[in-house]
Copies of this chain bind each other. A is one copy, B any other.
């Protein structure tokens, strides 16, 4: 096992009727910006519940944060925070709203150009405190210090990670996911699954606890994911998925072990340039990355085949092939096609994606940093 640090100070408040406990987490005199996305948080009354819990505290609402939150939108919120002397941010939504709110919390204190400061990975010195009300289990942003922001003007999507970006608290009420469109719920399950895969399907370093945790999350998502689509108001199922998604990317399963993230990095291009959902890019790319990297990942792929998919028969190649096929089938069953052509993407996009990876210096990728242009092209060809 590698040396590691683990630190995660986010307070999780999980279960039904927890929004009423939100106010008690804030200073009495806090002045709050409530951020949200497309409007469903408002439509289904979640914003009202938050406002009620705030009691007499002053607040301003800021809606319209997009999926893959846009820099320009977020900078408008930064101006409001400065003008109105906001001192606490409450994000109501999924990963995009929370990521965007993390950016706002940091950018309020940026000097000079905010985008340049963000992408230069300048260590943050100060951020506004953030609390979350999660409505979409998927990204784990509610319990980690990472935010991914898109700059549409520059066609760029880049992440930033800092301990100051952990939310102070996160309210996870599984019932808040009942009203999600099927597609969003399916995306969330696949997103969480691939987060686990990126931290697990590498090479063994005797991370026994991390491996068992990762396998447990995968098994839970495989068992509960399809149920969540069939029975959208099954509390137990939604609760298991919501907690899995948070655990998938709160740092715990990734401590002391190698990590990959090639599927994520290659996928950014297809979100930015072809409008694919983040989870769709992962459903396409993970099976291909596993296939191309099967030598590097051999031992973990065999362990995955046995412990997650109960495959114990056949040659090593057959077991690995079966595990990759079953992974692909799981994504397809969740309603996410796993090939680029199924989304109407032209084959020319393969070379454009390679150019994107070069332009943002994202290569080489993978846990061994051995996915360069040739290997990335093989991944993309297999994905087509």
Contacts and interface: CB of A to CB of B under 8 A. Distances in A.
Interface in A202-232: 206-209, 211-213, 215-217, 219-220, 223-224
Nearest to A7: B11
A212 B216 contact: yes
Contacts of A4: 12, 14-15
Interface residues of A, number: 42
B212 A215 contact: yes
B256 A206 contact: no
Given A14-B256, A216-B215, A255-B14, A208 B240 contact: yes
A236 B1 contact: yes
Contact of A212 (B7, B10, B217, B255): B217
A111 interface: no
A220 B307 CA distance: 14
A270 to B, nearest CB: 30
Contacts of A12: 4-7, 255
Please give the count of copies of this chain that the complex contains: 2
Interface string A1-30: 111111111111111111000000000000
A320 interface: no
Contacts of A10: 7
A220 B208 contact: yes
A247 interface: yes
Given A213-B216, A236-B1, A239-B1, A256 B208 contact: no
Which residue of A1, A9, A17, A18 has the most chain B CB atoms within 10 A of its CB atom?
Answer: A1
Interface in A140-196: none
A340 to B, nearest CB: 33
A1 B219 contact: no
A243 B206 CA distance: 12
A12 B9 CA distance: 12
Interface of A: 1-18, 206-209, 211-213, 215-217, 219-220, 223-224, 236-237, 239-240, 243-244, 247, 252, 255-256
Given A12-B255, A14-B256, 15 more contacts: A4-B15, A5-B11, A5-B14, A6-B12, A6-B14, A7-B9, A14-B255, A206-B236, A206-B237, A207-B240, A208-B220, A208-B240, A209-B217, A212-B213, A212-B215
A-B pairs with lowest CB-CB distance, top 4: A212-B216, A3-B15, A206-B236, A6-B12
